[in-house]
Amino acid sequence: MYLIKLENAIAEISYEISLSAFARLKHSFLDYPLL
């Protein structure tokens, strides 16, 4: 039970981290267009 909650929390945290990293990547691409 506790492990399942822990895994859900880790999944949510990693999902938010990847979302913010993706947004930061998008902003950097918009700031410095490659094409």
| 16's tokens | 């938010």
Please compute, for residue 35, the number of CA atoms within 13 A of its CA located in the half-sphere on the CB side. Answer: 0
Closest alpha carbon to 11 in 1, 26, 3, 25? 3
Question: Would the pTM count as exceeding 0.85?
Answer: no
- DSSP letter for 1, please: -
Q: What is the pLDDT of residue 3?
A: 86
Query: How do residues 1-35 score in pLDDT, each as one tens digit?
Result: 688 899 999 999 999 999 999 998 888 877 776 55
Q: What is the pLDDT of residue 13?
A: 95
- DSSP letter for 2, please: H
* Domain residue limits, the chain: 1-29
